[in-house]
Structure 1
Amino acid sequence: MLKLNKLHHIAIICSDYPKSKKFYTEIMGFEILQEVYREERDSWKLDLSFNGQYLIELFSFPNNPPRVSWPEARGLRHIAFEVDSIEDSIIFLKENEVPVGDIMIDPHTGKKFCFFDDPDELPIELYEK
C-alpha cells in the first residue's frame, strides 16, 4: 500500500482569473499564500490556504478547453467543504449572488448538504458538521 500522509492540494484551471480569484478569496474565504505570473506560459498560479492548510492551486491558461463536469461525467466529481450551518452558508452565498441548490439530507449520516458552482461550474459541496 502507498504510504500517504495527507492531501497536499487540489489544482483548478479557471477561464477568468480575476473572477475566480475573487470567488475563492472573497466568497470562499481562502487566504493567498503566493501569487505568481509565469510569463513564459502566459499563466497565473495562485496558491490558496484555508485555516493554515495549503489546499488549492488556481491556474489560468490561455485558450483552455472546457471540461464536462456536471452532473455525472467521468473524472473529478466535486470538491466538498465542511460547514457549521448549511442555512447560514446558503444565506451568505445568496447575498453574494451565488446560486445554490436545494438542501439535501445524506441518507447514510442524516447530515445536510448542498451544491453550488464556482465561476467555471466546478461543483462545490457544503456538508454540515
Structure 2
Amino acid sequence: MLTLNKVHHIAIIVADYDKSKHFYTQILGLTSIQEIYREERESYKLDLALHGVFVLELFSFPNAPKRISSPEACGLRHLAFEVNDIQATRDYLRAQNQEAEAIRIDLFTQKKFFFIADPDGLPIEFYEK
C-alpha cells in the first residue's frame, strides 16, 4: 500500500511575479525561504514557508495562459489556510484593500470561513480553527 506522509508543497504559476510575491509575503505573511531566477526559462521560483514549514512555490513564466476560477473549472479549486479568529482575519485583509466575501458557516462542521482571491484570481479560503 502507498504511504503518504503529508502534503509537501503547492505550486502556483503567477502572471505578475512582483505583485504575487507582495501578496503572499506582505499581505498573507508567508516567509521567503529561497528565491531563484532561472535565466534559461525566464522564470522566478520563490519558496515560501508558513511558521518555518515550506508550503508554497511561486513560479513566473512569460506568457503563461490564464486558468479560470469563475465559473469553477476542473483543477485546483482553492488554497485554504486555518486561522484562529475568522473575523479578525477578514478585518485585516479588508484593511489591506483585499475584497473579502462575507463570512459563512460550513453546514457540516459548523465552522466559519470566507474567501478572497490572490492577484491572479485564485480563490484563497480562510477557515476557522
The verdict on a shared fold, with TM-score over 0.5 as the criterion, is yes
Distance 2:23 2:123 in 1: 13
CA contact (8 A) 1:83 1:128 kept: yes
Aligned residue number for residue 21 of structure 1 = 21
| Alignment deviations for residues 68-93 of structure 1 (CA, whole Å, 9 cap, x no partner) | 12342111100100001111011110
Instruction: Find the aligned partners of 1:121 and 1:58 in 2 and give their Cα distance.
Output: 14
- Render the CA deviation track for 1:2-47: whole Å, top value 9, x for unaligned: 2111111100000000000000001111000000000000000000
Gaps of 5+ in 1: none
* Structure 1 residue ranges (4+ consecutive) displaced by more than 3 angstroms after TM superposition: none
Using the size of structure 1 for normalisation, the TM-score is: 0.97
Q: Which amino acid aligns with 2:126?
A: L
1:55 and 2:43 aligned: no
- Which has the larger displacement, 67-76 or 38-47? 67-76
Distance 2:67 2:21 in 1: 19
Match of 1:45 in 2: 45
Unaligned runs of 5+ in 2: none
Secondary structure at the aligned position of 1:90 is classed as: helix
- Equivalent pairs, count: 129
1:113 alignment partner in structure 2: 113
Instruction: Name the structure 1 match of 2:100.
Output: 100
CA contact (8 A) 1:45 1:58 kept: yes
Report sequence identity in percent.
58
Q: Given residue 51 of structure 1, which amino acid in structure 2 is its aligned partner? A: H
For the pair 1:88 / 2:61, whether they are aligned, the reply is no
Give distance in 1, aligned partners of 2:78 and 2:70: 9
1: CA distance, partners of 2:55 / 2:88? 23
